[in-house]
Amino acid sequence: MRFSLIHPNDLTSIEILVRIVLAVVIGCVVGTERQYKNRPAGLRTHVLVCLGACSIALIECLYVAGFNDSTSSHVTYNVGRLCAQVISGIGFLGAGTIFVQQKKIAGLTTAASLWNTACMGIACGYGYYWVALFICLFVILVLLTLQKVIRVNAVKRVEVRFIHRNETLQFINDFFEKSGIKVLDLDFHIETNGDPSSNDPNVYTNIYTLHLPSNLNYTDVINHLATYPNVQVVRTTNT
């Protein structure tokens, strides 16, 4: 049974070193992108994951070589159990990069990149260099360019806190209509600002559930609404 480009019995110290170095390089490439974006798992974490997965695959290759030398050809064995544990076990490390803050989930992409890095480390350990390099290339393309090429504006909730209800609502509604923004749902809250001498002493909070056209993103919406002097707070929210 053949497991790599080089048979396990033919593994030399140089070949093992090449596989280890390639795993470190691939971990560095993916980790650098995550480190640059200040994600929970950065350069060192990705390198260690890729290196650890590579070491498991190498151990399995060497184990198979030793098993073939010391057993009969009639003995059957199951190869891949160690690497299978890497694939499932990396989920615990990936889960550690996922966190919830103000009911907003972050870190899913980093967890996925860690899992892919482990898979590439296994490919390096088995000696499938081109597979590892091609996967690394596509992982970097996905992380760097996919969101720019394929833009998906998910439905989000935008919280707007403002004063002077009539004129501010007119401004907001005119902007939504002009920009082609659809309001799917609206929640509101009213509270007094403690200034009874004002013509309109209330502070209003509207929470819009919006669907944006493909040529507009939520950053543009927030920036435009924030320029209006009557708007005190504007932000996206999951509450």
∠ CA 19-22-14, nearest 5°, is 40
Q: How confident is the model over 158-215, as pLDDT tens digits?
A: 999 998 888 999 999 999 999 999 998 899 888 876 556 667 778 899 999 988 887 8
Q: How confident is the model over 31-50, as pLDDT tens digits?
A: 888 888 777 777 888 888 88
Q: How confident is the model over 98-125, as pLDDT tens digits?
A: 766 555 667 778 888 888 888 888 888 8
CB-side neighbour CA atoms (13 Å) of 94: 17
User: With pLDDT > 70 as the criterion, what percentage of the chain qualifies?
Assistant: 79
* Cα distance from N-terminal residue to C-terminal residue, the chain: 56
Q: Which domains does the chain have, with CATH numbers?
A: 8-149 (no CATH), 156-237 (3.30.70.60)
Residue 225: per-residue pLDDT: 93
User: What's the mean pLDDT in 77-81?
Assistant: 66
Residue 103: per-residue pLDDT: 59
Q: At 211, is the secondary structure helix, strand, or coil?
A: strand
Q: At 99, is the secondary structure helix, strand, or coil?
A: strand
User: For 119-201, where are the E strands, in sequence order?
Assistant: 156-162, 182-192
